Amino acid sequence: LCCASIPTACTGFVNSATGLAILRLFIGIAGGTFVMCQYWTSRMFTKQVVGTANALVGGWGNLGGGVTQLVMGSLLFPLFKVFFNDDAEKAWRTVSVVPAVVTFATGVAVYFISDDAPKGNYSEMKKNGTMPEVSAAASFRSGAFNFNTWVLFIQYACCFGVELTMNNAAALYFKEVFDQSTESAAAIASIFGWMNLFARGLGGFASDTMNARMGMRGRILIHTVFLALEGALVLVFANTKTLGASIIVMVFFSLNVQAAEGTSYGIVPYIDPPSTGSISGIVGAGGNTGAVGFGLGFRQLGYKDAFTIMGCTILGSSLLSVLINIKGHSALLWGKDEITEKETALAVPEPDEDAKDEVNA
């Protein structure tokens, strides 16, 4: 976070498209914190509530997309224009200092006031001999060679990738298609991100609820439903002709997008618990990959065609849920849960707990 705040603050020095691309590359460092957050949350909460916990953490993080659209475009930019005597050039070149300061302050706060795990910080646990060293390479290899990881990679590309695409395209879409002003289009587009206030958490809660009733089959089923509804609503959005109707459809479309993100990370901690960090990273990268792919579609095609292709792709990805088959757990159409979960068991056990379980076995 602290490193990413530096290029963010330097936004005003950009004077070419190449410079902007390079700057955005370095600002993207901040995206890596998502993986750490999801792994951290999985370490801190039990399996019964990990879906809700992961979803709320990720959702409130993604809420920054909606907040940024609204605050930067509709509040700070006009305010800075007034401050610089209606000079829009100076306004946009200085306004990015605000999120840079907030990001740096957040990074400092996390470092000094948080704990790594319920038992304390990793450095202290390693020093006291209560946490053995774990091979990062072995963890990544185990996660990367798990087929379920890549199914969720594709599906996350079709939910979080869609959200990133909408964050980039929604304001311009409402400005060009419905002739809205920059401030108005930014405010409307921000609704998509604001849904993260509860929608992703709703998906995580639904995942935990279905898990309590049907086990892993329940988590996969509700995940599939949200993806299918998302894809269908994208197709409806592509064919909506009025501003009011488009906003209404976008609200429900956004709800299912973010709920599917929540259900995704209700499944991730189960795939291979010791490799959850690596799996979280790979699945999370699917979102960025999807954003790149869908973004290219919006650059090369008209809005209707781009939305139609995106909707059909999402619907196709929902069918991949039948391929999710996690060891010890039921699949969507077959099998049963063989692993009995303890109510106090963390979603990702501490390394010393893993070792004890292996000895007892």
- Written as six digits, the tokens of 143 are 């996660």
Residues 149, 270: contact at Cβ < 8 Å? no
253-287 per-position pLDDT tens digit: 999 999 999 999 899 989 988 888 889 889 989 99
Domain count, the chain: 1
Choose among 157, 187, 148: nearest CA to 170. 187
Residues 30, 103: contact at Cβ < 8 Å? yes
Q: Report how far residue 19's alpha carbon sits from residue 4's, in angstroms, rounded to the nearest whole number.
A: 16
86 three-class SS: coil
Structure confidence at residue 356 (pLDDT): 44
Q: Is residue 334 part of a domain?
A: no
Q: Is residue 131 part of a domain?
A: no
Q: Is residue 359 part of a domain?
A: no
- Written as six digits, the tokens of 25 are 């590359």
214-257 per-position pLDDT tens digit: 999 999 999 999 999 999 999 999 999 899 999 999 999 999 99
Give the best-scoring range by mean pLDDT among 9-13, 89-93, 309-313: 309-313
DSSP state of 302: -
Q: ∠ CA(275), CA(278), CA(281), 5° rounding?
A: 145
Which secondary-structure segment (H or E) carries 144?
Answer: helix 136-144
Amino acid at 233: L
Structure confidence at residue 345 (pLDDT): 63
Q: What is the pTM of this model?
A: 0.80
Q: Is residue 343 part of a domain?
A: no
Confidence band of 60 (pLDDT split at 50, 70, 90): confident
- Written as six digits, the tokens of 107 are 């990074």
Q: Is residue 89 part of a domain?
A: yes
Q: Report how far residue 322's alpha carbon sits from residue 319's, in angstroms, rounded to the nearest whole number.
A: 6
Q: Is residue 239 part of a domain?
A: yes
- Written as six digits, the tokens of 2 are 């602290």
Q: Please list the residues that pair with 120 across neighbouring strands.
A: 117
Residues 199, 166: contact at Cβ < 8 Å? no
Q: Is residue 355 part of a domain?
A: no
CATH of the domain at 97: 1.20.1250.20
Q: What domain range is 166 assigned to?
A: 2-120+136-328
Q: Report how far residue 207's alpha carbon sits from residue 24's, in angstroms, rounded to the nearest whole number.
A: 34
